[in-house]
A = this chain, B = another copy of it.
Amino acid sequence: MAVKRGASGAITDTFFTVTELARDLSVTARTIRFYEDKGLITPRRAGNIRVYTKRDRARMALILRGKRLGFSLREIKEYLDLYDVDPTQIEQIRLLLKQVRMRLEMLEDQRLALEETIVELKEIEAQTEEALKQEVASKRIAG
């Protein structure tokens, strides 16, 4: 409920400081500032202090999801820019569509690889559990 900055570093309930946002998203403030450096996010300032809105927070969440998916910051930036394209420029729209489709293909491909791996790991898991049971059982008999 603090309107001014208290011990927590909060400005208001709808705005965040870097460290607040960082804690919220389980990253460091350094990381957030670094993303700003790279042009992925541009918070407003109160004086020279960064002020993040909920929209900024959502954007950060998108960035982090992109990272979980294994994309580089450059790629994530391009991806985020897809949301900000001017829809009146027809050539720009065509380009955008092409990019979106390429990315979709990549993701579908990645999903396939992912599912293959999950299946294999589950097999290993099952075999391992089996082996474990066998081991324990034989020890019980031997003991």
Residues of A within 8 A of B (CB): 65-66, 68-70, 82-83, 87-88, 90, 93-94, 96-97, 100-101, 103-104, 107-111, 113-118, 121-122, 124-125, 128-129, 131-132, 135-136, 139
A40 to chain B, nearest CB (A): 16
Interface centre among A103, A110, A116, by most B CB within 10 Å? A110
A-side interface mostly: helix
- For A139, list chain B residues within 8 Å (CB): 90
Say yes or no: A90 contacts B121, CB within 8 Å: no
A127 to chain B, nearest CB (A): 8
A131–B90 CA distance with the chains assembled, in angstroms? 9
- For A122, list chain B residues within 8 Å (CB): 104
- For A114, list chain B residues within 8 Å (CB): 69, 107, 110-111, 114
Say yes or no: B118 contacts A104, CB within 8 Å: yes
Given known A-B contacts A93-B135, A110-B68, A111-B111, A100 and B128 have beta carbons under 8 A apart = yes
A83–B135 CA distance with the chains assembled, in angstroms? 18
Given known A-B contacts A108-B118, A117-B65, A94 and B125 have beta carbons under 8 A apart = no
Say yes or no: B68 contacts A113, CB within 8 Å: yes
Quick one: closest B residue to A71, CB to CB? B70
Say yes or no: B135 contacts A90, CB within 8 Å: yes
Say yes or no: A97 contacts B65, CB within 8 Å: no
